[in-house]
Amino acid sequence: MNKIHKLREFLAKEKQLQALQQEVQHLAQSTAVQEVVKFKQELQALMEQFNLSEAEVLDMLRPPATQAPAQESVKYQRAQKIFRNPHTGETLEIRSRNHAKFQAWKRTYGDEVETWLVS
């Protein structure tokens, strides 16, 4: 029984081999495959001419790895404003109207302080 099994296995493999040989022959006749084979041969000739390995050629063709610079968080800063008190001649440089001195002027002089903006 074992010999018959081996014979059947052999015949099946032989049939598979014939089918694969026909596939290879069909592919070899394909113009697309012929173009790729020709390209590969020409590329290998160039690699030998310039003494390059496959890895070197791939490195040349691969775009350079660019790392995006780490973006630092940029905190928005308000523009600095300068107010000059005409009563005292005092100058105040602030970014926020919550500044203690500015608030004191607002309590003392009211909305007139807004007109003291120099820049």
What's the pLDDT tens digit per position in 2-50? 888 888 999 999 999 999 999 988 888 888 888 988 999 998 998 899 8
Distance, in Å, from the CA atom of 106 to the CA atom of 115, rounded to the nearest integer, reads 11
Q: For the chain, give the mean pLDDT.
A: 86
Q: Look up the pTM and report it.
A: 0.40
**How confident is residue 72, by pLDDT bands cut at 50, 70 and 90?**
confident
Burial of 81 (0-12, 13-18, 19+ CB in 10 A): middle
Which residue's entry shows tokens 């630092």?
Answer: 72
21 or 76, greater pLDDT = 21
Say how far apart CA 43 and CA 38 lie, in whole Å: 9
Residue 49: both structure tokens together: 């001419």
